[in-house]
């Protein structure tokens, strides 16, 4: 019995070995003779899509596997189906024309122009076009800046340079900001405004030493110590009468200040720019600036009060502007002062309001003749 069992086990083992060798030989034969394309290193034998839904999903999985395989040479990668629709070949030795093998920005593997009915091609990512600005080494057309009436030929090189630096600004904005010297730090490159009735006084334009307005009159009554220029007082009286008719009372807290008083205020603020102007850089020295107080006499209470809101909405109808707005601190160089109104004349105040010009710096940069003709 033991001999019979041993012989049976021997023949069973021999049969298993024979079957495995036969299967190996058959697989090698099929591998070498299933396609006329030699050198392929991945042959996937799957039924066609028409054979059933299971075949479709198997072919999808095979396609994903091919797309993830590393390529020895991306320029010679070929993903295509042979004439036999049941055979999918991924081969580095067969190169398709470049015009039919576009590359996708999403994956490193190429995409077929007309692939078999397996997976839809991957669409490239399309971004919206960005606004074009010339590169730094590209020439800028001369008409980009000189079409504006406030173009200054001497500033042409500054326009070109800061057109790149202020990359988010339009050419028109670049021109007027350069004209207003906003490409420079505050209180640098200071110019003297020698106009006897100066319109613009700021960190870049100061008054000449010894300057005082040609004439000053009391703001409220003959015994009032607060004084301003005659045209400023006349316009303010009309402004105040209109405010009273609408239920508001305008109280002047400060008006003309000589240079010596301005110097003391600047020293009391520890010589910090942006809060109090330096001597000869203050609009109060021109006699055209007025500080209005709130209901309790405090400046900080003026902006949120109904009176402050009414002044902000109606000052331009009487020749005044809110000189230091919250959205122009980077232009004026001063903090938000809603109580500070400046008389510029009815024509200028209405023009600024109608053209959405928020600062006197922008107006003078666009209309330099306005400051000279005052």
Q: For 22-26, 27-31, 118-122, which range has the lowest pLDDT when averaged over its residues?
A: 118-122
**Percent of the chain's residues with pLDDT above 90:** 47
Query: Is residue 42's pLDDT more than 70?
Result: no
Higher pLDDT: 59 or 359? It is: 359
**Percent of the chain's residues with pLDDT above 70:** 67
pLDDT band at 297 (very low <50, low <70, confident <90, very high): low
The size of the chain, in residues, is: 374
pLDDT at res. 26:
77
Higher pLDDT: 164 or 30? It is: 164
Question: Which range scores top for mean pLDDT: 13-27, 132-146, 196-210?
Answer: 196-210
Higher pLDDT: 274 or 70? It is: 274
Q: For 48-57, 210-219, 343-352, which range has the lowest pLDDT when averaged over its residues?
A: 48-57
pLDDT at res. 122:
54
Q: How far apart are CA 266 and CA 271, in angstroms?
A: 5
Q: For 108-117, 121-130, 296-305, which range has the lowest pLDDT when averaged over its residues?
A: 108-117
Q: Where are the alpha helices (H) located in the chain, listed in sequence order?
A: 2-33, 53-68, 156-165, 171-179, 230-245, 259-268, 306-314, 329-332, 346-354, 360-366, 368-372
pLDDT digits 0-9 by tens, 334-373:
999 999 999 999 999 999 999 999 999 999 999 988 765 4
pLDDT at res. 286:
96
Query: Is residue 98's pLDDT more than 60?
Result: no
Collapsed DSSP state (helix, strand, coil) of residue 339: strand
Higher pLDDT: 258 or 53? It is: 258
Q: Which residues pair with 79 in a beta bridge?
A: 90
pLDDT band at 203 (very low <50, low <70, confident <90, very high): very high
Question: Which range scores top for mean pLDDT: 26-30, 85-89, 179-183?
Answer: 179-183
Q: List the domains of the chain with CATH numbers.
A: 39-125 (no CATH), 210-372 (3.30.1380.10)
Contact 299, 339 (CB under 8 A): yes
Residue 201 has phi, psi (to 5 degrees) of -130, 120
Higher pLDDT: 175 or 221? It is: 175
Q: For 43-57, 207-221, 279-293, which range has the lowest pLDDT when averaged over its residues?
A: 43-57
Q: For 9-23, 111-125, 336-350, which range has the lowest pLDDT when averaged over its residues?
A: 111-125
Q: How far apart are CA 193 and CA 207, in angstroms?
A: 5
Q: How far apart are CA 34 and CA 37, in angstroms?
A: 9
pLDDT at res. 349:
95
Tell whether pTM > 0.75: no
Q: Which residues pair with 202 in a beta bridge?
A: 205
Collapsed DSSP state (helix, strand, coil) of residue 340: strand
223-248: average pLDDT: 93
169-193: average pLDDT: 94
pLDDT at res. 32:
57
Query: Is residue 47's pLDDT more than 60?
Result: no
């Amino acid at each position: 019995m033991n001999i019979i069992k041993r012989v049976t086990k021997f023949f069973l083992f021999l049969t298993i070995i024979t079957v495995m060798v036969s299967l190996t030989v058959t697989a090698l034969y099929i591998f070498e003779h299933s396609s006329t394309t030699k050198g392929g290193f991945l042959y996937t034998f799957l039924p066609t899509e028409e054979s059933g839904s299971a075949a479709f999903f198997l072919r999808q999985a095979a396609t994903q596997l091919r797309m993830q395989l590393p390529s020895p040479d991306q320029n010679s990668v070929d993903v295509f189906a042979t004439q036999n629709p049941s055979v999918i070949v991924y081969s580095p030795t067969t190169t398709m024309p470049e015009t039919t093998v576009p590359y996708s920005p999403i994956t490193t593997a190429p995409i077929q122009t007309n692939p078999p009915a397996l997976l839809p091609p991957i669409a490239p990512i399309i971004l919206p076009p960005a606004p074009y600005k010339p590169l730094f080494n590209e020439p800028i057309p001369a008409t980009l800046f000189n079409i504006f009436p406030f173009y200054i030929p001497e500033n042409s090189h500054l326009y070109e340079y800061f057109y790149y630096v202020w990359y988010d600004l339009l050419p028109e904005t670049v021109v007027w900001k350069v004209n207003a010297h906003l490409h420079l730090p505050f209180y640098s490159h200071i110019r003297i405004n020698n106009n006897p009735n100066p319109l613009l006084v700021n960190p870049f334009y100061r008054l000449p030493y010894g300057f005082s307005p040609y004439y000053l009159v009391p703001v409220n009554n003959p015994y009032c110590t607060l004084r301003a220029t005659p045209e400023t007082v006349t316009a303010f009286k009309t402004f105040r009468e209109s405010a009273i008719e609408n239920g508001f009372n305008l109280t002047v807290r400060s008006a003309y200040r000589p240079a010596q008083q301005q110097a003391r205020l600047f020293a009391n603020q520890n010589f910090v720019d942006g809060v109090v102007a330096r001597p000869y850089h203050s609009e109060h020295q021109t006699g055209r600036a007025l500080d209005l107080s709130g209901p309790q006499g405090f400046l900080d209470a003026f902006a949120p009060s109904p009176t402050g809101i009414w002044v902000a909405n109606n000052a331009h109808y009487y020749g005044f502007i809110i000189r230091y707005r919250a959205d122009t601190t980077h232009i004026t160089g001063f903090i938000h002062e809603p109580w500070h109104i400046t008389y510029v004349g009815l024509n200028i105040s209405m023009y600024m309001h109608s053209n959405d010009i928020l600062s006197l710096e922008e107006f003078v940069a666009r209309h330099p003749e306005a400051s000279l003709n005052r």
